[in-house]
Amino acid sequence: MASSRRATFSGFMPPHVLDRIAVQGTERQRRCAQQTLQADQWFRLRASPPPARDAARAVAGRPDRRIHSADHEQTLPGRLVREEGQAAHGDAAVDEAYEWLGATYRFYWEVFGRDSIDDRGMPLIGTVHYGRDYDNAFWNGAQMVFGDGDGDLFRRFTAAPEVVAHELTHGVIERDVGLVYAGQSGALNESLADVFGVVVKQYHAGQTAQEADWLIGAALLTDRVQGRALRSMEAPGTAYDDPVLGRDPQPGHMRDFVDTQADNGGVHINSGIPNRAFYLAAVALEAPAWESVAPVWYAAMRDDALSRESDFAAFAALTVAHARRQHGEGSREARAVDDAWREVGVVS
């Protein structure tokens, strides 16, 4: 039952992409985009209660995954189809959601000692097969939800580990700092979800920062799309250039910051700036990102000095401070973090 509070809704798909498809796509693509936009708007107006905690199942260091199927309806959480410890289901979306939620849990536990979204063993609730031809994935304040995509432009959203990790990380951000989902704080919210999403992918694959592709959502695009992914942390603005989707609008420098009222003040657009800062800091160092820069970003995100409305500059200052604290005042890590924010124009 909905309450009077506004729901948390953090969708993976940038609204400007769906808006463009709703105008430029084929008849079916337009219909799918419009249905997705309508469903997303509906969820923004609803509240979701947190999942019930089962003390008997809560074991630190072990995830409590519960994967449901919406069976192409829009009811959550849907039908329970796979629980923690059960064998593979055989449904690709079910098993991908289970695997990538587990991989994300392991990353947070093994790297940061964090026990799930709330650091208290919160169950990881995932729903797949949401709606029909639904072109999005989202965190609603209580669980992760994944669409199957329209099949023309986008594949199922469980196919990309960084997408699953991105949505789970929105829950982490909500619990730790609750960054307001608008303007620079909202773009920072999106960037942090991208940062830890892509580092989860690198951690799972054992990739160094230099080996990684730094792409977000590459596995989602079908062969019909002219592009590599939905976002590039290495080179914001170059992920796609397609007749239907349009051209990737993300800036990689503050001089190109986009002032807009759409998308809560461009949260999916301007996130390219802090995304590139993280990329630059990571590749400047020889260690894997989860050892070098991710702990700095994580500490800054959890710092009490970070307010719900913090902008890029405030977060940058905290990362520099934590890099110095973790690695030393004149360390390579501290210089790399400071240089990265300067290169993207957040620090002068």
Polymer length of the chain:
348
Query: Angle CA(8)–CA(10)–CA(11) in degrees, nearest 5?
Result: 140
Going by the DSSP 8-state scheme, the letter that residue 53 receives in this structure is P
Given the structure tokens 């949401």, which residue do they identify? 130
- Closest by CA position to 151, among listed 85, 99, 93, 190: 93
DSSP assignment of 214-257 equals -EESGGGB-TTSSBS-SEESSSTT-SBEETTTEE----SSGGGP
How far from 275 is each of 63, 82, 207, 217, CA to CA, in Å? 28, 34, 18, 14
Marked catalytic residue, from 129, 268, 322, 327? 268
Assess whether 268 carries a catalytic annotation. Answer: yes
- Closest by CA position to 142, among listed 120, 122, 163, 121: 122
How far from 26 is each of 21, 23, 68, 245, CA to CA, in Å? 8, 9, 31, 12
Distance (Å, whole) CA 307 – CA 296:
17
- Closest by CA position to 196, among listed 274, 257, 108: 108
> Amino acid identity of 104?
T
Tell me: cis bond preceding 77? Omega within 30 of 0 counts.
yes
CB atoms within 10 A of CB 219: 18
Assess whether 129 carries a catalytic annotation. Answer: no
Marked catalytic residue, from 68, 129, 162, 167? 167
Return the active site residues.
167, 268
